[in-house]
Structure 1
Amino acid sequence: MKVVILGGGVIGVTSAWYLSQAGHEVVLIDRQTGVAQETSFANAGEISPGYASPWAAPGIPAKALRWLFMQHAPLILRPNVDMAMLRWMIAMLGNCNATDYRINKGRMVRLAEYSRDQLIALRAATGISYDERSQGTLQLFREQKQLDGIAKDIEVLRADNVPFEVLDRAGCIAAEPGLAASASPIAGGLRLPNDETGDCFKFTNALAAMAKARGVQFLMGRTINGLAREAGRIAHVVTDDGPVTGDAYLVAMGSFSPLLLAPLGLRLPVYPVKGYSITVPIVQPEAAPVSTLLDESYKVAITRLGDRIRVGGMAELSGYTNDLPQARRDTLDHSVGTLFPGAGDLTKATFWSGLRPMTPDSTPVVGATPIDNLFLNTGHGTLGWTMACGSGQVIADLIGGHAPAIETADLALARYQR
């Protein structure tokens, strides 16, 4: 079968790899001249299945109001006349209850744990290298009330048999010795020892090179203008360099996926939630993080990637914008500077933003659509890197007509049609 993939980020490239491994002819199309040039370019670097949690949770509406007025706010709302944003926010608020939280977190952890296992298997089979580390993730709580509120997360971790450790300040410093130099209050932490880290950009480019060697065709620098539909099926992809045909079509275009699907009458509830990162050269290795630390107060991840520190986070609702306000960088500088003082040279950091494709229930959309040869692998939000390999294997199974190793019926677009 010939499968045409739309999108060259980590989701599109992992999908291409697993489809190729299954024996399909694969063509990947992207508007950029290389893979992983947009949301996959400089993300936080964490592969954290146990922290796969919905943004929509009990208490979030009240917290969100407080966050909007913080100096270093983890949530930024820049409203405009955008009905898609309004619909997305209403749907997200509708998921802010205990029942939906448990359902959504269960879905997310299931896919994320499976994805981590697939990544380990891929690394063992290919030797792929991407500044990877397997030294766990520490969620750090500066305030006692944050530590006191982890019961619901621990409940899900136990149900899914995910190993974890609840740590006091001394335990946090034992896991991340660089914290010893911090003057910030540290109430404690939740550590997941099985989590990993790695450079998503390096991984995606290395995997794309291996996929190309296996015969995957990469049509880069092509603008995708639409999908042509005939007799109830997708007939071809409309590009600025002519049509591209296949037997099946997979949309993996992140935040731009709903714009492509709307003319087909398919409403995909994915909205761009902008995130920011800085990449900081390490100047004191002993003071730098060992793995990934999640600063709960500012919703910022601090990750060691070789001789660099990647600091990423925040959630900004501002549509399809890629500007770089100084205030966002100040928040990232503050988080890493107060927890790991002197570890990196902030004056030489590079600043970046990306559009995360977020669904209102935080669960990605992976599976079939009402159009029988059109499939989706999108909407992973902040967890595209964490869920990439599992999502790629799942969609390859579904397109090939095989039963995936995990339950996937509740990941498809149909869940929004209830």
Structure 2
Amino acid sequence: MNIIILGAGVVGTTQAYYLAKKGYKVTVFERHEGPALDTSYGNAGQISPGYATPWAAPGIPLKAIKWMLEEHAPLAIRPTADLNQYKFMWNMFLNCTSSKYAVNKSRLVRLSEYSRDCLVQLRKDTDIYYENRSLGTTQVLRTAKQMEAIKADIEILEKFNVPYEVLDQDGILKVEPGLKESVHKLAGALRLPGDETGDCFLFTNRLADIAKGMGVEFKFGQNIEDILVEHNKVTGIKANGVVHTADIFVDCLGTYTPFLLKKIGIKAPIYPLKGYSLTAPIIDETSAPTSTILDETYKIAITRFDNRIRIGGMAEISGYNLNLNPKRRKTLEFVTNDLYPGGGDLPKAEFWTGLRPKTPDSTPIIGGTEYTNFFINAGHGTLGWTQSCGSGAYLSDIIAGNKPEIDTEGLDISRYK
């Protein structure tokens, strides 16, 4: 059976790997000249199932208004002429209730924990190396109010048996000694020891090479122009003027998914959430992270690779705009210097931006559609790297007609009907 996958980011590439593992003949179509050259290129580098948290949370609408007046706000809204922007924001705000937050958080943790387990097994099976570390995430909290607020998240972590530690300042220094100059600014931390780190771009490219060895064909430089349907089935795609047919099709186009699905009458509520990162050489090993920290106030992660640090975060709702905003670089540098002064060579850092494919409830869309041979694996937002392996393994089981290893509740597009 032949399967066409659309998109060679981390989600599309892991999907190809898991389908090839089941014996399918897989072809991946990608508009760029290689894997992971869009959103997967410069993300924050976290595998963070324990910190799988919806952006739509209680209090966010009021915080969004407050953030509009702050220089280093984690969320910025830039109005456009696109009505989809306002539909997305409205639907996201509708998910900012305590009850909906609990449901969405549970879905994210369920998929993310499974995905981390799938990644561990993938490493055992392939010996893949991507500057990975298995040393956890430390969510640093600057205020007593933040310390109180994590109790709701801890309840969900306990529900899913996710290990965690609440740390005081001494506890923080035991796991992240590089914070020695700034720990006095912190009220405490929530540590998630099961989280991991790594370079997503490196992982995706090395997994693509492994997949090629399993028979997967990657077609790069392919502009997907149309999708062909007959009755309740997709019959082919048109890329660079050529029609390609297969038995099954999987959309892994991330932020660009709605444009393709609109052609066949499917409304996918995915909208870009723009993020930024800096990747800097390490100057002083003792003043750099051991693993990854997440600053709850600014929603910025600082992650350790072998000889580099990756500073990533922020959310900008501004459409499909890939301009590099120097104000965002200033914020990334401010948080880095505030927590790890002298840790990274920031003037030499690579400044990058990417568009995260976000759904209003923060849960990705994974599963079948009204077309019997067309599937979606998209909309992971800030958690594409975290959830990629689990999403690929999960959807591969569905396509094969097997019972998935996790509950399917709330994961496919039918939840929006």
TM range (shorter): over 0.9
How far apart are the structure 2 equivalents of 1:364 and 1:184?
38
- Superposed, which structure 2 residues align to 1:123-202 within 5 Å? 123-182=123-182, 185-202=185-202
| AA of the residue aligned to 1:301 | A
Cα displacement (A) at 1:66: 1.2
How far apart are the structure 1 equivalents of 2:359 and 2:254?
11
**Secondary structure of 1:109 counterpart:** helix
Q: Relative to structure 2, which stretch is displaced further, 326-335 or 235-244?
A: 235-244
Structure 1 residue 58 corresponds to structure 2 residue 62: no
How far apart are the structure 2 equivalents of 1:165 and 1:17?
34
What are structure 2's unaligned runs of at least 5 residues? Answer: none
CA offsets per residue over residues 78-120 of structure 1, 9 Å max, x none? Answer: 1011111111111111111111111111110000000000000
**Secondary structure of 1:392 counterpart:** helix
How far apart are the structure 1 equivalents of 2:38 and 2:399?
26
| AA of the residue aligned to 2:113 | E
**Secondary structure of 1:314 counterpart:** strand
RMSD: 0.9
How far apart are the structure 1 equivalents of 2:414 and 2:288?
45
Cα displacement (A) at 1:188: 0.6
Cα displacement (A) at 1:156: 0.2
How far apart are the structure 1 equivalents of 2:410 and 2:197?
28
CA offsets per residue over residues 18-61 of structure 1, 9 Å max, x none? Answer: 00000101000000000000000010000010100111111111
The number of residues matched between the two structures is 417
**Secondary structure of 1:76 counterpart:** strand
**Matched-pair contact (CA < 8 Å) for 1:14–1:389:** yes
| AA of the residue aligned to 2:198 | G
| AA of the residue aligned to 1:165 | E
Classify 1:5/1:165 alpha carbon distance in 2 versus 1 (closer, same or farther; 3 Å).
same
TM-score between both structures, scaled by the size of structure 2: 0.99
Q: Which position in structure 2 is the counterpart of 1:259?
A: 259
How far apart are the structure 1 equivalents of 2:334 and 2:244?
47
**Matched-pair contact (CA < 8 Å) for 2:169–2:184:** no
**Matched-pair contact (CA < 8 Å) for 1:184–1:338:** no
**Secondary structure of 1:330 counterpart:** helix
Q: Which position in structure 2 is the counterpart of 1:338?
A: 338
Q: Which position in structure 1 is the counterpart of 2:280?
A: 280
Q: Relative to structure 2, which stretch is displaced further, 251-260 or 230-239?
A: 230-239
CA offsets per residue over residues 141-182 of structure 1, 9 Å max, x none? Answer: 112211121111011001111110111122112210010022
**Secondary structure of 1:243 counterpart:** strand
Q: Which position in structure 2 is the counterpart of 1:304?
A: 304
Cα displacement (A) at 1:278: 0.2
Cα displacement (A) at 1:183: 7.0
**Secondary structure of 1:237 counterpart:** strand
How far apart are the structure 1 equivalents of 2:170 and 2:329?
29
**Matched-pair contact (CA < 8 Å) for 1:6–1:253:** yes
- Superposed, which structure 2 residues align to 1:31-50 within 5 Å? 31-50=31-50
CA offsets per residue over residues 200-229 of structure 1, 9 Å max, x none? Answer: 000000000000011101010110012111
TM-score between both structures, scaled by the size of structure 1: 0.99
**Matched-pair contact (CA < 8 Å) for 1:184–1:339:** no
| AA of the residue aligned to 2:28 | L
Q: Which position in structure 2 is the counterpart of 1:380?
A: 380
The structure 1 segments of at least 4 consecutive aligned residues displaced by more than 6 Å after TM superposition are none
What are structure 1's unaligned runs of at least 5 residues? Answer: none
**Secondary structure of 2:242 counterpart:** coil
Percent identical: 51
Cα displacement (A) at 1:184: 6.1
How far apart are the structure 1 equivalents of 2:27 and 2:333?
41
| AA of the residue aligned to 1:13 | T
Classify 1:184/1:261 alpha carbon distance in 2 versus 1 (closer, same or farther; 3 Å).
farther
How far apart are the structure 2 equivalents of 1:263 and 1:127?
40
**Secondary structure of 1:38 counterpart:** coil
How far apart are the structure 1 equivalents of 2:14 and 2:322?
25
